[in-house]
Structure 1
Amino acid sequence: MIETKNILELFKPIVKEVLESMLKEEREIYLENNPPTKGNGFYERDLKTAFGELTAIRVPRTRDNGFKSALLPYRKRITEDLDALIRAMLISGMSTRKIAEVLKELYEIKISYANISRISQVGIEEIQKWRSRPLRRICRGISGCYGVSYQEIG
């Protein structure tokens, strides 16, 4: 039986290669629209994803420093899918410590408790609104083999 970790490890190089190709193409589009400037090599950065940590991603740059990737925003170190996963674990009641342990065990990603707390703040007001919304009718149902009986409460 193949473990989840091993499957994710197989995808990491593919995801990295595809991402780098997309970034290069994004820069090419920028260069076509800004003829006086030229490409100026690459810089490397890491990205934490649901596939694990992608290290040394080659991000293209330009001489005029005007190229900004829409795929990989500046200073973005964690992908949206991983953000959503962390928020889902927080909503379900997991502590930041437990979330950090799960991410380290399953995805080999190390994220500080402080960063997990920062991620959780995104959308926290919406969650609080949803939790404190007024409830309408509540119906209690009893389902049997031969019939269904419902009783309205409140």
Structure 2
Amino acid sequence: MLLSKEQLSSVMAKHSERENGLHDLMEIMLESMMLAERREFLDQSKGNKGNGYRQGRSFGHGRVLEFRIPRDRYGNFHPKILALLRDQELECERLAGSLYCRGLTQGQVGEIFGEIYGEHYSKASISRMIDYLRSDVQEWLNRPLEGYYPIVFIAVR
């Protein structure tokens, strides 16, 4: 059954009014985009076929999105939309860490995220983002150091 644009728009509008409806629509949209991307990929690589799905997760609008990532037979298909989501997630973590390091409280960081992304992030969400930063900093602080570091001085007249 094919739906017209108007029918599809009406169904999506009704669904988005439900509790978690917008969240569900986001997951459906991501899966559809990845399927279309795989279809294009398989058209380009002869002899390759679709081979089911694997589970995927991402963080979006203060919630965890869960979706199915389509696979191909040879494991060469990697959806580009996932790279965009990963970049966005890393950017959110960097922004949260930067604001927190400048002295803002987790609540203030959540308010700024609300202004930027249109949805208020909870203190718990901001805390999780900052924990990633803390683990990176701790890893850097605990890195092994060399016993000897050569130094070169260059004098310019």
Alignment TM-score, normalising by the size of structure 2: 0.52
The aligned residue for residue 115 of structure 1 is: 132
How far apart are the structure 1 equivalents of 2:72 and 2:100?
A: 40
- Taking the TM superposition and a 5 Å limit, the aligned residue runs for 1:4-153 are 9-55=20-66, 57-73=67-83, 76=86, 79=89, 82-83=92-93, 86=96, 89-90=99-100, 93-95=103-105, 103-105=121-123, 111=128, 113-117=130-134
Answer whether contact 1:50 1:81 (CA < 8 A) is retained: no
Distance 1:16 1:77, change over 3 A: farther
Greater helix share, structure number: 2
Alignment TM-score, normalising by the size of structure 1: 0.53
Deviation of the 1:113 alpha carbon: 3.2
How far apart are the structure 2 equivalents of 1:42 and 1:85?
A: 32
How far apart are the structure 2 equivalents of 1:112 and 1:93?
A: 16
How far apart are the structure 2 equivalents of 1:111 and 1:50?
A: 14
Deviation of the 1:36 alpha carbon: 1.1
Greater strand share, structure number: 1
Structure 1 counterpart of 2:89, one-letter code? T
5+ residue gaps, structure 1, are 1-5, 121-154
Percent identical pairs in the alignment equals 19
CA RMSD between the two structures: 4.2
Q: Name the count of aligned residue pairs.
A: 112
Structure 2 counterpart of 1:10, one-letter code? G
Answer whether contact 1:40 1:63 (CA < 8 A) is retained: yes
Answer whether contact 2:93 2:132 (CA < 8 A) is retained: no
Q: What does the per-residue CA deviation read over 1:83-127, in whole Å, with 9 as the maximum and x for residues that have no partner?
A: 475367447632569758x7445x96872533145799xxxxxxx
Answer whether contact 1:37 1:63 (CA < 8 A) is retained: yes
Structure 1 counterpart of 2:22, one-letter code? F
